[in-house]
Amino acid sequence: MDIFLLILGFLLVILGIIGAVLPVLPGTLTGWVGLLVLHFTSIIPMNWTFLGITLGVALVILILDYVIPAIGTKRFGGSKYGVYGTTIGLVIGLFTPIPFGILIGAFLGAFIGELMYNSKDKKRAIKASFGSFIGLLASATIEFSVAVVFVVLFVMKFWEYKEGFFS
């Protein structure tokens, strides 16, 4: 059972990295569940402080993942239509075969949203779209970094107790 939990936990932290890039999957939260699964093994002792701190980080990143692109859009003069357009564009971009469809979708979604808000001000719509794009990149970079840290923590915990799994 411990080997199964080890493999499941590892798959979840790897899925966390993938989720850092795909907006439909909460990357850091998925990676944290992988850390939690690892602590359910009989070999690795439950460390509530470690799990609490990493859960806190995962929840903060989860919230920031939605806030940062909106802040970017607002910071560059966008409206709530641009924020909604960013989110819709992210989802649509996810399902397109175009490379970097998520990024293009977020940019175009914010642009279209801003044009729906004020169709005469194309310069402002482009500026807000750029802010959305920058916010999305910043958010994805932060989430990806934390997801990688969770993988490193997983490997370190495994390495510390590896003899127990294979004895």
The predicted-structure confidence for 45-96, as pLDDT tens digits, reads as follows 889 999 999 999 999 998 887 778 778 877 887 778 887 888 788 778 878 7
The predicted-structure confidence for 5-23, as pLDDT tens digits, reads as follows 999 999 999 999 998 877 6
What is the residue extent of each domain of the chain?
2-165
Q: What is the DSSP string of the chain?
A: -HHHHHHHHHHHHHHHHHHHHSTTS-HHHHHHHHHHHHHTSSSSPP-HHHHHHHHHHHHHHHHHHHHHHHHHHHHTT--HHHHHHHHHHHHHHHTSSSTTHHHHHHHHHHHHHHHHH-TT-HHHHHHHHHHHHHHHHHHHHHHHHHHHHHHHHHHHHHHHTHHHH--
Radius of gyration in angstroms for the set of CA atoms belonging to the chain, rounded to a whole number: 19
The predicted-structure confidence for 105-147, as pLDDT tens digits, reads as follows 888 888 898 888 877 778 888 888 888 778 888 888 999 999 9
Q: What is this structure's pTM? A: 0.79
- 18, 27 contact by CB (below 8 A): yes
- Through-space distance between the first and last CA atoms of the chain, rounded to whole angstroms: 14
